[in-house]
Amino acid sequence: MTYTNRNGYQLPNLTLPPQKKHPLGEAKLSEHLWEIEQTAKEQVRQTVEQMAEEQGMNEQMKRQNPMLWVQTMNNLKALAEEIVLNQLIFV
């Protein structure tokens, strides 16, 4: 291993190994990942909205008991994210 002296410090001369190209290409892969992310976000939003309606979480409940509303909505969001991850991402 070789070193370079910088301001009295011996720093190793490190190089990264060559990177493998993805068969889809960087641009196509990034676009694909962005589409997946947008789809997942939309599915989470729709699932939370549907479950909130089923649980009776409406604006009246939000005004009457805001802490319960926030707790329930956070739980619904976590559940929706888990559902979407299992259906869309971890397939």
Q: Per the structure, how many domains does the chain have?
A: 1
Whole-angstrom CA distances from 76 to 27, 32, 87 are 34, 27, 16
Report if residue 7 sits inside a domain: no
Crossing angle (nearest 10°) for helices 26-55 and 66-84 = 140
Host H or E run for residue 21: none
Report if residue 64 sits inside a domain: yes
Report if residue 6 sits inside a domain: no
Report if residue 12 sits inside a domain: no
Report if residue 61 sits inside a domain: yes
Spatial distance between the Cα atoms of 17 and 74, rounded to a whole number of angstroms:
43
- pLDDT value at position 53? 94
Residue ranges making up the domain that contains 32: 24-89
2-37: pLDDT as tens digits: 999 999 999 999 887 776 666 656 677 788 888 999
- pLDDT value at position 71? 97
Q: Looking at the predicted structure, is the pLDDT value of residue 91 above 80?
A: no
User: Using an 8 Å Cβ cutoff, are 13 and 2 in contact?
Assistant: yes
Report if residue 19 sits inside a domain: no
